[in-house]
Chains A and B, each alone.
Chain A
Amino acid sequence: MTNQSIRNTILIACALALAVIYLFPLYWMYVTAIKTSSEAFASPPIFIPTHAQWQNFVDVWQSRGMGSYLWNSLYIATLSVIVIAALGSGCAYVLARYRSVWIDVGLFLILMLQVLPSSLMVTPIFVGFSQLGILDYPRLATVLAISAKSMPFFVVLVRATFMSVPMELEEAALVDGNSRMGAFFHIVLPLARNGILVSAILIYMQAFGEFVYSKTFISDAMYQPASVGLNTFMGPNTVEWDKIMAYSSIYVTPILAVFVLLQRKIVSGLTSGALK
């Protein structure tokens, strides 16, 4: 072996070791989920289960009614992303295209709104929504609150994408007789499609795990998302850890799968936006 390849092997081994240590909590979730209760509480703990069983997943899915919880998570996350992408893309485009004092003011406003913690905004939004009657539609109320909370982040990410679309292409389209609207929808949006999609997926993941607003606004278990369902399941003195980890695995695996598949794009979308 050459020096170079020895060095690479050692570095890869170290990197994998670091990843294994860092991702151990995730491994522990999956391992606990396939243990029986007595194995979960074995001492010393069982690191590699020999009698893997899948019954926990079936049990938890049925006894906790996970179908309804996950459906609500999907419902809330999908609607939120639609609202955010529809409103946020145009906003990001204008903020990326022009330079002026007003644009700076708008950008400053967006950056400020990005930082407001949900748990501090939830009291006034709850009282306001209840006075307006919006709380009668609890999932819609949650969607509105999530949209307002996450749209600024989406705008910041997508703005970075629009900045990298060459303006000459749009100008050429205008010269060729396109209207502004035509140029936006036929030239600029398609070119920014990937960036918008990646940011939307990132927002979707966040909305899929959202908790504060759902817990506060949605009292009827029929409309609660999986995060609230997990919270109800845990209780203060819970002992059903194998079941809770099975619940968590079912909940989190789709998100992790999407992330691992799109990892490279998500990471680059995130880094181009967050520092700019």
Chain B
Amino acid sequence: MRNRLSTLWDGRGFDIILIGVPLAFLILISGAAILYNVIMSFQEVDMFSLGSIIRPFAGLENYKRILSDPQTWPIFGNTLIFVLGSIIGQFVLGFGLALFFQQKFPGSTYIRGLFLVSWVMPGLVAGAIWNWLLSGDFGVINYILIQLGVIDTQIFWRSNPDFALWSVIIANIWLGTSFNMILLSVGLSAIPQDLYEAAALDGAGPLRRFFTITLPMMRATIGALLSLGLIFTLQQFDLFASITNGGPNNASNVAQYWAWQLSFNEFDFAGGATVSVLMIVIVVVAAAFYVRSTRGEVRG
């Protein structure tokens, strides 16, 4: 008995406690929530049955209802545009900045690090600032664009259905570009310099070197980063809450925001759970790609 107890501080038991308690905590909250979510999506849930665990079984009724809702496909389409637009914007701008800061000069790492303030800011504050920057009448972005001759008249970014989704995408690109830049910088500095020197001796120009050395050597980083980008954009909620609220008329709504609205604005908890289940499946597939792309390092 003494031996068994003493492993708690001097053997296997110690490790099992260290890892068991946090895993139990995570499984109790996140794991149970996922399971509960799936169950709720097959039940009838309303304000009255919210407190009870046994509820009428609804079969596939919720899924049929959500999938035949005329708003569903436009919202899922928006989600796709939001994800693609955000990831491409963040990645291209982040890569450009990372390449620039790869030129070593005094203070480069410090200035580069400052960019990350966009990423550590509360999403809601970033949303508030962009809401103001993009406002139609008095927004400074409209003013700058008109001065530069890019547009003739003011764009009502948040209330015009053609632009509402893009106003959130622009804010999200700003938010995530610095994170992309930092991770791409790490990948860039891991490429051995003599590869470039050898290629330059062989007469390869900068473009050629970029496509034959930089891109192939960065494949793992890029893979990890794109799947992280997908995960982060599917998590984005705060910007929608503070810029457009999904409006006008769902023109800028995406699935993760709609799921919340269904539950907590319309009190359709079963509908919210159903949309969540559909989305979580997508997120988990993306996560599997991320885990795969970092697997080599995970095994150490």
Q: Are the CB atoms of B186 and A87 closer together than 8 Å?
A: no
Q: Are the CB atoms of B183 and A275 closer together than 8 Å?
A: yes
Q: Is A93 an interface residue (CB 8 A)?
A: yes
Given contacts A112-B284, A119-B260, A209 and B22 within 8 Å (CB-CB): no
| Cα A53 to Cα B245 with chains together (Å) | 32
Q: Is A194 an interface residue (CB 8 A)?
A: no
A115: which B residues are within 8 A, CB to CB? 231, 235, 283-284, 286-287, 290
Q: Is B9 an interface residue (CB 8 A)?
A: yes
| Cα A274 to Cα B227 with chains together (Å) | 12
A58 to chain B minimum Cβ distance, whole angstroms, is 20
B256-292 CB mask vs A (1 if < 8 Å, else 0) is 1101100110000100110110011001101100110
A45: which B residues are within 8 A, CB to CB? 138, 140, 143
A63 to chain B minimum Cβ distance, whole angstroms, is 17
Q: Is A108 an interface residue (CB 8 A)?
A: yes
Given contacts A216-B264, A248-B128, A120 and B256 within 8 Å (CB-CB): yes
Q: Is B156 an interface residue (CB 8 A)?
A: no
Q: Are the CB atoms of B263 and A122 closer together than 8 Å?
A: yes
Our pick among B33, B122, B138 for the contact of A128 (Cβ within 8 Å) is B33
A45 to chain B minimum Cβ distance, whole angstroms, is 5
Q: Is B18 an interface residue (CB 8 A)?
A: yes
Q: Are the CB atoms of A117 and B256 closer together than 8 Å?
A: yes
Q: Is A57 an interface residue (CB 8 A)?
A: no
B5: which A residues are within 8 A, CB to CB? none
Q: Are the CB atoms of A25 and B100 closer together than 8 Å?
A: no
Interface size on A, residues (CB 8 A): 104
B101-115 CB mask vs A (1 if < 8 Å, else 0) is 101011111111111
Interface size on B, residues (CB 8 A): 106
Prevailing SS type, chain A contact patch: helix
B59 to chain A minimum Cβ distance, whole angstroms, is 19
A126: which B residues are within 8 A, CB to CB? 263-264
- B45-53, B65-73, B82-90 - interface stretch: B45-53
| Cα A114 to Cα B284 with chains together (Å) | 10
Q: Is B176 an interface residue (CB 8 A)?
A: no
Given contacts A209-B121, A259-B116, A120 and B280 within 8 Å (CB-CB): yes
Closest to A111 in B: B291
Q: Are the CB atoms of A275 and B186 closer together than 8 Å?
A: yes
Give the residue among A28, A32, A130 with the most B Cβ atoms within 10 A.
A28
B124 to chain A minimum Cβ distance, whole angstroms, is 5
Our pick among A19, A98, A252 for the contact of B114 (Cβ within 8 Å) is A19
A169 to chain B minimum Cβ distance, whole angstroms, is 17
Closest to A73 in B: B122
Give the residue among A11, A94, A127, A182 with the most B Cβ atoms within 10 A.
A127
Our pick among B53, B174, B264, B287 for the contact of A131 (Cβ within 8 Å) is B53
- B23-31, B160-168, B193-201, B203-211 - interface stretch: B23-31
Q: Is A74 an interface residue (CB 8 A)?
A: no
| Cα A91 to Cα B20 with chains together (Å) | 8
A153 to chain B minimum Cβ distance, whole angstroms, is 11
Give the residue among B30, B245, B275 with the most A Cβ atoms within 10 A.
B30
A181: which B residues are within 8 A, CB to CB? 9-10, 14
Q: Is B148 an interface residue (CB 8 A)?
A: no
A108: which B residues are within 8 A, CB to CB? 291
Q: Are the CB atoms of B234 and A28 closer together than 8 Å?
A: no
Q: Is B58 an interface residue (CB 8 A)?
A: no
Q: Is A16 an interface residue (CB 8 A)?
A: yes
A242 to chain B minimum Cβ distance, whole angstroms, is 10
Our pick among A104, A119, A148 for the contact of B256 (Cβ within 8 Å) is A119
| Cα A118 to Cα B256 with chains together (Å) | 9
Q: Is A192 an interface residue (CB 8 A)?
A: no
Given contacts A124-B273, A130-B50, A32 and B132 within 8 Å (CB-CB): yes
Q: Are the CB atoms of A15 and B276 closer together than 8 Å?
A: no
Q: Are the CB atoms of B116 and A245 closer together than 8 Å?
A: no
Q: Is B61 an interface residue (CB 8 A)?
A: no
B231: which A residues are within 8 A, CB to CB? 115
Closest to B126 in A: A25
Our pick among A12, A148, A209 for the contact of B125 (Cβ within 8 Å) is A209
Q: Are the CB atoms of B237 and A118 closer together than 8 Å?
A: yes
Our pick among B10, B51, B100, B279 for the contact of A117 (Cβ within 8 Å) is B279
| Cα A243 to Cα B174 with chains together (Å) | 23
Q: Are the CB atoms of A275 and B33 closer together than 8 Å?
A: no
Give the residue among A11, A88, A124, A130 with the most B Cβ atoms within 10 A.
A124
A50 to chain B minimum Cβ distance, whole angstroms, is 17
29 sample A-B contacts, Cβ–Cβ < 8 Å, listed by A number: A11-B103, A11-B108, A12-B107, A15-B112, A22-B177, A28-B129, A87-B22, A91-B19, A94-B18, A95-B19, A106-B23, A114-B287, A115-B235, A115-B286, A116-B34, A116-B283, A117-B237, A120-B275, A123-B264, A124-B34, A128-B32, A131-B52, A148-B29, A149-B30, A180-B10, A181-B14, A209-B238, A236-B245, A263-B114
For the complex with contacts A119-B237, A144-B29, A227-B124, 11 further pairs of A-B residues with Cβ separation under 8 Å are A23-B115, A25-B118, A91-B18, A98-B15, A123-B260, A125-B33, A148-B25, A211-B124, A215-B241, A231-B241, A266-B116
Identify the 5 closest CB pairs spanning chains A and B, nearest first. Answer: A209-B122, A90-B18, A181-B9, A148-B29, A87-B22
